Amino acid sequence: MRRYHKQEKIGALKYMLLVVVALFAALDVANAQQVRRETLKYHEGLYLDRYWSDEHAGDLRNSCKCAPAAAAETTTGGRISTNGQRQGVLEAGAHCSAVTEDRRTPAMIFMFGGGFYTGVRDRKEYLPYFHFLASRGIQVFSIDYRLGLAPLVEKMKGAASGKEEAHSAGPVDGVKGGKGRKSGKIAAARQMVGLLRKSIDMAVEDLFRATAFIISNAEKWGIDTSMIMTSGSSAGAISVLEAEYALCNGGEEVEPYNYVPSGFKYAGVVSFAGAIMSVNGKLKWSSRPAPMMLFHGTADSNVPYDKLWTPFGSLYGSKYIADQLTGMTAPHTLFTFENATHTVAVSPMKENLLQIAAFIEESVFDGKKFIANTVVDQPGLPELKRKLKLKDYIKANF
């Protein structure tokens, strides 16, 4: 049986109405229920903030405890169009069983943005998102992680202010002494990619540490460890996507990842302007990832919407990932914002709360298998550059 749900291209006026509805809904929920917060140390020098609502603890998750159907009907998926069409995927369905007695709740781990050199876990723009989820019965954990590019940026700032020699501030030491300008640029690009790779690995390692900490306290906090999701903004989005990619590939590109129990999988991923980095060519998935919801602007110069290629390693953005997942008939939702910049790393946390809630309820909790592509068109915006190069990435981020 083939199931369709048509999603038309959203115009500016229609989208603004959706935004207003989402904002009022978020305010109603936040005002109705008090969200509590506590700060905890999960590793040396690293902390997390836990957000939860006692009154609604477990309500959303336990209203429908999902499990694989014993004799589920199989849908027959075909070609997924890029005009917003949504349909079933070649996958067994799911059904809902009785509410569990212990009323354990789902959890969302969030990672902030900041280019792997700055950022805070409690940025005020993130709070509507945290409160919205917590008020709906999802415990939120906004975590610190090590910022691997911070030393490099400090050197660059020092050189710009004249406190250090200019050559020490570049992505590579001794570029001026290389065999000409071209060889210096190649060496700089190679080391920049290497530093970024190392920074991503550090962030992913800390995500796994935080996940292990949450699992170890799951009984005390009443968390369903089979329903731990991840979410992130910009660098944080890169990190959560990288973690999912590592789990799907046995840690081939991200080491170490063995902080979490053997066989552990995240239940879902919500990414705001994220990407996956590979130094071994195109992305290859050994197993299907968790359901993903990907938000991205087509004119993002900080994180590529499609891909940023270099000979030493490449970043593959939301569109590229979604295209791969479509080819794998792996459930996911892509929100494309036409001609939007890196503002999409934050804006959906206020403007798309209802869509996020629907994704979590349908794709994560209920186990429905959908591929959806929604394009938000905003006529009148100036046409911006879309193809991203390494120099554009460095200029935008540093």
Please give the pLDDT value at position 226.
97
Closest to 375 measured CA to CA, from 316, 276, 294: 294
pLDDT tens digit at each of 398 positions of the chain: 333 343 445 555 555 555 555 555 555 544 446 899 999 999 999 999 999 998 754 455 554 343 333 333 222 222 222 333 333 333 333 333 333 445 799 999 999 999 999 999 999 999 999 999 999 999 999 999 999 999 887 777 666 566 554 444 444 443 344 456 667 677 777 888 899 999 999 999 999 999 999 999 999 999 999 999 999 999 999 999 999 999 999 876 665 567 898 889 999 999 999 999 998 889 999 999 999 999 999 999 999 999 998 888 899 999 999 999 999 999 999 999 999 999 999 999 999 999 999 999 999 999 999 999 999 987 766 666 556 555 555 555 65
Q: Amino acid identity of 134?
A: A
Q: DSSP 3-state assignment of 129?
A: helix
Q: Amino acid identity of 250?
A: G
Prediction pTM value: 0.77
Q: CA angle 171-398-125, nearest 5°?
A: 140
Closest to 221 measured CA to CA, from 66, 111, 103: 103
Q: Return the exposure string of 45-63: e unless at least 16 CB atoms fall within 10 Å of the residue's CB, then b.
A: ebebbbbbbeebbbebbbe
Torsion on CA atoms 203, 138, 289, 47, rounded to nearest 10: 10
84 CB-contact burial (10 Å; exposed 0-12 / middle 13-18 / buried 19+) = middle
Please give the pLDDT value at position 378.
72
Q: Amino acid identity of 293?
A: M
CB count in 10 Å sphere of residue 262: 5
Q: Which two tokens stand for residue 120?
A: 């805070």
Rg (Cα) of the chain, in Å, rounded?
Answer: 21
Please give the pLDDT value at position 345.
98
Q: DSSP 3-state assignment of 48?
A: strand
Please give the pLDDT value at position 191.
83
Q: How far apart are CA 286 and CA 94, in angstroms?
A: 23
Q: How far apart are CA 231 and CA 50, in angstroms?
A: 14
Q: How far apart are CA 44 and CA 39, in angstroms?
A: 14
Please give the pLDDT value at position 164.
52
* Dihedral pair phi/psi, residue 18, rounded to 5°: -65, -40
Q: DSSP 3-state assignment of 74?
A: strand
Q: How far apart are CA 142 and CA 110, in angstroms?
A: 5
- The Cβ-side half-sphere exposure at 32, using a 13 Å CA radius, reads 12
HEC letters along 216-277: HCHHHHCEEEEEEEEEEECHHHHHHHHHHHHHHCCCCCCCCCCCCCCCCCCCCEEEECCEEE
Q: Which long-range contacts (CB under 8 A, 24 or more apart) does 17-25 make?
A: 18/351, 18/354, 19/351, 19/352, 21/354, 22/350, 22/351, 22/352, 22/353, 22/354, 22/355, 23/350, 23/351, 23/353, 25/353, 25/354
Q: Which two tokens stand for residue 137?
A: 């019965």
Cβ neighbours of residue 292 closer than 8 Å, sequence gap 6 or more: 241, 244, 268, 269, 270, 271, 321, 322, 325, 331, 332, 333
Q: Which two tokens stand for residue 278?
A: 């590979």
Closest to 140 measured CA to CA, from 125, 124, 121: 121
142 CB-contact burial (10 Å; exposed 0-12 / middle 13-18 / buried 19+) = buried
